[in-house]
Structure formats: C-alpha cells, structure tokens
Structure 1
C-alpha cells in the first residue's frame, strides 16, 4: 500500500473511515461556459470499461456499468462515462467541474494530485483517474453523489443549480475521504457525522456557531440511520469536525484517514462499536495523538463524552 510513509513512520515512532446536498430552484442555463479540453473515447477500443465492482460504486454510478462512451480530459485525470444520447455539453460540463474542483478539494486535505494517487486505495480499478457517471437516476434536488470509485452527476446541464461548484466540491470531498480511509472494506469506515462534517467544511457550507452546540448532538449520528430529521444537523456535523481541525490542523485530519486505511489494510478492525462507529475509526482516532483546543490529549472516548463541555469552553 502506497502511503506518506515518512509521516506515518514518524507518527508511529512517537505513538509506538446518505449525503447532504443543498440545491436551489434556480438553474444555470447559460451556454457560455469555458470547458476543459479533452477527447471522446470508447471502452471497446481502449479496454477502459467502467468498473462493475458493486462494493465500490454508489446507487447512481451503477448506471454507467454498461456504458462504453466516455470523455477524458486532456490531463488524463478525469473520465466521464455516459449514454451517447446525452449532449456534448453534458459530458464536457461534468468533466470540467471535476477537473477544476479536485485541486481545491485536495488542498484542504494538504495533498497534491500525485500524493493523492499514491495514497489512494489500491482496490480501485483506475487509481490515476476520477470517474464521473452521467446518471439518469439522479434527481434535480439530489444532483450528485460520490463513492470510492466514481461520482454520479445529473446529466442535463441546463438543469444544473447555481451552487454546482459547492455541491461538486462536497462530493469530491467524500470521494477523497473514502479513497484515503478505506483499503478493502466494503462499507465506509467513517462515522456519518465526521464524513458529512468534513465534506461540508471542505465545500465551504454553513457551520453552526459554537455557542449553539447544545442544539444538536452530532456525535450520536454514527450512521445515517441514527440521524434526526432536522436539516440543521449538517451544520452541527461541520461544527464537530471543525473543532478537531482547528485544534489539530488539516494535515492531522488527513493522517487520521491514512491511519484508518492502514488499520483496514492490516485487518482485525472490521467490526463496529455498540454505538455504531467502526473500530478502525476509534483506534485510529486514539492513535493519531489528537488534542483539544487547550492542547490536551483528546481520545475518541473523551471527545464523545465531553463534546458539549469542550465546545462550551472553546469560545
């Protein structure tokens, strides 16, 4: 497994892994977009078929399993698969959003593209590419979703929302998370609140104010099934994640994801706690040497038990 070995070896020497989308009713129907250059190719000629491994795809990106047409950007980093019934604009717009969005997202993880490719799970079929899928099953309110292998996107460019950049950034954050935190696990190893909180912060979405922390208990939402109906819970997921990032830095959060992947690679951490978190996440959290806002040691058990106390003394 390729990882930032220097950082992890140094760390171990010291110490011995349902998605939110906010879409307006206004749509971008402007044709004057500057699309990234690229070429149309066919998997029947290149052999680069859309992956069919069900564990690595989302419900919507499954739509492209039998599609052979794809648009590849000139950089070679992005391929968008879809039906030939979709327009040239649909393909190019999706490829452009992914191409333009990935570097900004990776910078929040303190990574360059080459580092991400090196650290990315070896289980994906095309580690050097981001795969997009023009998915007819995605609704206008949902717009996009992400998995470890691909990002499903609404194919009709004329119906895209104005906040497309932010939504794609959110989904790219999930794409990066899953690739850094999973090696061979069939399901995400990240608590729901952490995955959504980090993606929300990366995408620049709304974050609850620290003095509002008593309004919701984000750490109770280990899975999407635990989540309550309140839409504002996503702002609290972001608040809980931002607390960790502000106290420890962006790079520490990326190393946490790497540690989760390492534990998944080594095996023995497949199970989940009684409250729903993966043991890989809990063990990695405790091994990462994280601290609170006063620079005191912060274990997962302490963060969960003292969350409101910590937040109430952080401002």
Structure 2
C-alpha cells in the first residue's frame, strides 16, 4: 500500500508541480488496571533511548519530559511513555495502554497499517518506529491529552482522567498522525486549523454539524486558532468541512494529500504562506491532488474556500 501511495504522490507532483478541541466531563473512569497492556520500565541512562529534544517536533506540553530518563515500553516495542518517577506506575501503564490499543484503529481511518505509517512517517521525526508519550504536569485535567509531532502528552494523574478518554485519545492520535505525515522538518504545522481539527473530529467520531446548518459558521476562515470565533460549535463545522472533502474523494485521498504536503516540505520550494494565510505547501498539495467536489468536478483550494457554502448547499 505504501509503495503504491508513493508512486501516486510522485506522479501527481510531476503533473502538478495544530489549539485542539477537548470536551471532558467532571466524571472520571477507573478501568481495571489488570487490563493494561504488558510492558517493562526502563532507564534511558542505561538504554540510551532518551526523550526527544527536538523543539520543532514538541508542543510546549510535551517539552516537560525533557531530561526525564524513566520510561515504560510496551512489549510490542511500539509505545514508550516517559515521565517523572514521582508519578504512579498506574499512570505510565494507563497512558501506554491507551496509545497501544488505539493507534491501529486511528490509523485504519487514514487507510494505513502500522507498517505503512512507519514507512510514510517523516524520517526527521524522533523515534519514527515508536509512538512516544509524556506524562506532563503542563496538561490540565480539563484538557487531558495534547499531541504534537514528537510526542503525545497526558495529564499525569490517572484519577483525573475522564470517561471520554477513548474518544479524546483518538482525536489527539489523529493530530499525531497528521503531523507525522504532513511535515518533514517545518517548525510549525503546515495544515490549516479547520482541516486538522475537522479531520480529527471525523476520525474520533465526534459530533458533526448537519449539512443544512452550514451557513451558521465559516470554518475555512479559521486558518489558525487565533482566527477562530468563540463558538463551541465551530468544531462541528470543521468536521462538516472536512467530511465534505472525504466523502467526495475518500479517506485515502486525504492521506495522500497529507503525504504530498510532507514531500513539498522536504523539497523546500513552498515555504511561507499564501495571501489568505494557509501554508504554500498545503495549498499546492491540495491543488495538485486532483480532488473533486460532490459532482466529481475538479476542486481547487481557491474554489473550495470561495464557494464553500454554495458547494454545501447543493450537496444535499
């Protein structure tokens, strides 16, 4: 699968050439700790597998584990969770279990298997064959999880984890996958805020606005979190905008789009932003990916942005 996608990316290029939503309750869950995945604790001073230090790949929450040598690794070797020895063994095991158990399901929504992800993930990413977690005191219990390219940060106090744990972790793992597929070594996310959040909403199975309500919000104007209006239902509209693209083109086309953004970042010829604020790499990839609208007509990014409401209005 990965090889065929690589060929598709190259052929298209030849022809054509990150604030998160979190909703938690005040209730907490306490699953049986005996159900955690198996693994062992290690010390990076013995193994040499130190926590990533690349600031461009870590969000501020995830930087809290710099210098921490203790980590728990699942027996599969796919997941490591770093943190202070002051945190409970249960917190390490719980975070590792959430990552280990949910990564395959989230990858499947991107039409990927674990081996595909490892192959397609940026070679510049820290530990490209592992998902790295961090027990971080910088993540408040109201947010619970925060993902970046290098690591997924968890609130370190297991007793404060919410009932919605699974859905929130899936949402953040979607961000983790997005960043790893769409960036090579850019110092910031190359994806528009609405796209990153909309895809994560769809992947996590969170509520999406009904199509007939599309006039209630203009999601494509939210290029960065700073652009977003103070409307909690905006995430439902990000999901609506993304779902329109996925429904017309399929989830694999959306994954190929992310990979094309990474190739353009690696190529280095599309630095900076276009006049509307999106990264040049994203807009070029969107226009080169051969995406279509619901009537199977070619859809450029510029037309999607300017005609968004007309397109949604005629799609139902």
**TM class, shorter-chain normalised?**
over 0.9
Find the counterpart in structure 1 of residue 266 from structure 2: 265
Inter-partner Cα distance in structure 1 for 2:126 and 2:194? 28
Question: Is the 2:72–2:93 contact (alpha carbons within 8 Å) kept by the matching residues of 1?
Answer: yes
Q: How many residues are aligned here?
A: 314
Where do residues 48-197 of structure 1 align in structure 2 (5 Å cutoff)? 48-197=49-198
Inter-partner Cα distance in structure 2 for 1:14 and 1:265? 18
Inter-partner Cα distance in structure 2 for 1:144 and 1:58? 12
RMSD, aligned α-carbons: 1.4
The alpha carbon displacement at 1:138 in A equals 1.1
Find the counterpart in structure 1 of residue 233 from structure 2: 232
Inter-partner Cα distance in structure 2 for 1:223 and 1:100? 31
Find the counterpart in structure 1 of residue 311 from structure 2: 310
Tell me the SS of whatever aligns to 1:186.
coil
Inter-partner Cα distance in structure 2 for 1:303 and 1:220? 12
The alpha carbon displacement at 1:13 in A equals 6.1
Q: Describe the shift of the 1:226–1:37 C-alpha distance in structure 2 as closer, same or farther (beyond 3 A).
A: same
Question: Is the 1:197–1:236 contact (alpha carbons within 8 Å) kept by the matching residues of 2?
Answer: yes
Inter-partner Cα distance in structure 2 for 1:278 and 1:13? 20
Structure 1, unpaired ranges of 5+: none
Tell me the SS of whatever aligns to 1:273.
coil
Question: Is the 2:56–2:185 contact (alpha carbons within 8 Å) kept by the matching residues of 1?
Answer: no
The alpha carbon displacement at 1:126 in A equals 0.5
Question: Is the 2:191–2:278 contact (alpha carbons within 8 Å) kept by the matching residues of 1?
Answer: yes
Q: Describe the shift of the 1:32–1:266 C-alpha distance in structure 2 as closer, same or farther (beyond 3 A).
A: closer
Find the counterpart in structure 1 of residue 282 from structure 2: 281
Question: Is the 1:206–1:235 contact (alpha carbons within 8 Å) kept by the matching residues of 2?
Answer: yes
Tell me the SS of whatever aligns to 1:90.
helix
The alpha carbon displacement at 1:17 in A equals 9.0
Tell me the SS of whatever aligns to 2:35.
coil
Inter-partner Cα distance in structure 2 for 1:157 and 1:5? 40
Inter-partner Cα distance in structure 2 for 1:155 and 1:292? 44
The alpha carbon displacement at 1:66 in A equals 1.1
Where do residues 284-299 of structure 1 align in structure 2 (5 Å cutoff)? 284-299=285-300
Q: Deviations over 1:3-42 (max 9, x none)?
A: 7422323444665791111111111134455000001000
Structure 2, unpaired ranges of 5+: none
Inter-partner Cα distance in structure 2 for 1:81 and 1:167? 20
TM-score by length of structure 1 reads 0.97
Inter-partner Cα distance in structure 2 for 1:278 and 1:227? 17
